[in-house]
A and B are shown apart, each in its own frame.
Chain A
Amino acid sequence: MASEGEAAKRVPIREDFFTTPLWPPEQVRLRGLRCRSCGEIFLGKNVGCQNCQGTDMEDIELSRRGKLYNYTIIRNRPPGNYKGPDDPFIPFAVGFVELPEGIRILSPLTGCDIEDVRIGMEVELTVEELYDDDEGNQVMAYKFKPC
């Protein structure tokens, strides 16, 4: 367990995406909402159900493991205010990860060579520091890695 001081310095890239605390990372899960009318699952907060327009939503925690539905490799530095490794830029894979709950989540992939990424590969959530913000906080974001 990290000390109080250290833990206070970790902030999520979007508060509604993660369970707390953000440490240790292997215990963090993505969270979202499930529509009580149609059962559709959403990542993070949602005003209502995009599928059936229902408004009765319940909080859920999502599985940490899933399968890669599709992917591509980002070969050039993403435009604008990209906060990942920049000098030099490191190409990375992204893809939609399908979780057992039936939601697909777009995510960067890590922990494997970009040439080895394959549709259908088993992947697991990892929560990692993306960058330090102006207040010196570690901003934590989600990725998936082969498992």
Chain B
Amino acid sequence: MREVSIVGVGIHKFGRFGEKPFTEIGVEAALMALKDANMAWGKIQAAFCSRVNLPSTTGLRVLTQLGRTGIPIVDVEAACAAGGAALRQAHMLVASGFCDYAMAIGVEKMPRGFIDPEMLYDKWQVHVGLSQIPMYWAMRAQRHMYEYGTTVEQMGMVAVKNHKNSVHNPYAMYQRAFTLEEVLNSAIVCDPIRLLMICAPDEGAAAAIVCPSQEAHKWSSKPIKIAACVHKIALYPHTSAPAYTGSAKVVSPFITEYAANAAYEEAGLGPEDLDVVELQDTEAHNEIEATEYLGLCSEGGGGPLVESGATEIGGRIPVNPSGGLISKGEPIGASHLGQVFEIVTQLRGQAGERQVDGAKVGLCHVLGAGGNCAITILKR
């Protein structure tokens, strides 16, 4: 297997863009990535497009605008982990020597408000009302509060931090700071989760171009190595959406811990080596929990971690310097590649006012329906 590097990244701002078609949204990210690598489209030998809410041949329709070069363009879907699954395909193809230049691109245009529940749940679950995605994280949050004393204020601090970071991210949807009081006083969606603690589905795109590390300096003065790129599905018992049963007898590692262990092993690195993290903050509690399962703090220590300021830019381990999904919104198919864009930018030292000083190693984490989890570890 060959070591693989990212030599170009591109992004289309996350947000709401009215009638702008996904083909235009996607191609902007692709063009930006090609320009970043100073590479012609004709050089790319395979492309994988992650999307969840868009039609068949989304990637083909986006990328053949640049020319029909005959290469395979394959759509990939794995819920919120789709972008990780796409990058993993590109990574494997180049690592194995099947080709030298591959693109992973995530594109999404989500409907407004709640996602159609019948995309995810059985009809009977929808009829009963057991079909609100935030409720699963809210139930986990309640249990976390019960077991570890985590507070609503700590969840609010996650949202305050991420919204604050997004002010400096031109690609984020909101770019607006909120006070803790504003977050805590926003409407309750599912107790204890408040509206300003939750991410909104939206639109956007992001892309990455990969090649063998030994070729990387031809294309980029600051190539970023892929140390690990894993995609896992939760072991039994899985109790997030759309599960309706769980087990009090079988104990297995939570999916983030399970995937993180695999990623750390592949990278030969551990959580202590990380300088910056982008993780799935579907709701604020999700970030608290993920910091624990990624090994950034002890079990139950996620609340005190954010309260200590350690996850702020300038803290011990900055989390979601981009503003996270809470402020960027979640264009599901594009969200992981958006994280990759952010970490590549951070490791190149090009993140401007949201830069984490001296960042050398970064991790991207997404987690979604069915227990789909992808983790990419990047290093310079």
Contacts and interface: CB of A to CB of B under 8 A. Distances in A.
A119 B193 CA distance: 17
Contacts of B5: none
B129 A92 contact: yes
A40 B118 CA distance: 28
A104 B114 contact: no
Interface in B178-196: 187-193
Interface in A71-129: 71-76, 78-84, 92, 94-96, 98, 102-108, 119
A81 B130 contact: no
Interface string B232-261: 000011010001111111100000000000
Interface stretch (B6-14, B119-127, B161-169, B208-216): B119-127
Nearest to A52: B236
B245 A51 contact: no
Contacts of A95: 139
Contacts, number: 128
Interface string B219-240: 0000000000000000011010
Contacts of B135: 72, 74, 94
B66 interface: no
B233 to A, nearest CB: 12
A103 B248 contact: yes
Interface residues of B, number: 41
B245 A105 contact: yes
Interface stretch (B78-86, B91-99, B140-148, B338-346): B140-148
Contact of A75 (B127, B189, B245, B248): B189
Contacts of A13: 124, 127-128
A82 to B, nearest CB: 5
A38 to B, nearest CB: 8
B131 A78 contact: yes
Given A73-B190, A84-B129, A78 B117 contact: yes
B127 A130 contact: yes
B129 A78 contact: yes
A79 B139 contact: no
Contact of A103 (B187, B191, B247): B247
Interface of B: 113-118, 123-124, 126-132, 135, 138-143, 146, 187-193, 236-237, 239, 243-250
14 contacts: A13-B124, A42-B245, A51-B250, A71-B139, A72-B190, A79-B113, A79-B117, A80-B131, A92-B129, A102-B248, A102-B249, A106-B130, A106-B244, A106-B246
Interface of A: 13-14, 39-43, 50-51, 69-76, 78-84, 92, 94-96, 98, 102-108, 119, 130-131, 139, 141
